[in-house]
Amino acid sequence: MISKRLRELREENHLLQKDIAEYLNITTSAYGYYEQGKRNPDIETINKLADFFNVSTDYLLGRTNKKRNSNIDSNNKEIKYETYSKIEEFFTKKLINEGIIKENEPIPNDAIEKSFKYGMDAAIEVLKLEKKLDNMDFKDDKNRINKETDKL
State whether 75 and 96 are in the same domain: yes
Answering whether pTM is above 0.75, one says: no
E strand or H helix that includes residue 108: none
Tell me the CATH number at 44. 1.10.260.40
Query: What is d(CA 45, CA 24) in angstroms, rounded to the nearest whole number?
Result: 7
State whether 26 and 45 are in the same domain: yes
State whether 103 and 149 are in the same domain: no
State whether 115 and 102 are in the same domain: no
For the chain, the domain total comes to 3
Domain that holds residue 30: 2-61
State whether 91 and 138 are in the same domain: no
- pLDDT tens digits along 39-98: 999 989 998 998 888 888 888 888 888 877 554 444 545 545 456 667 777 788 888 888
Which of 30, 6, 8, 9 has the alpha carbon at shortest distance from 18? Answer: 30
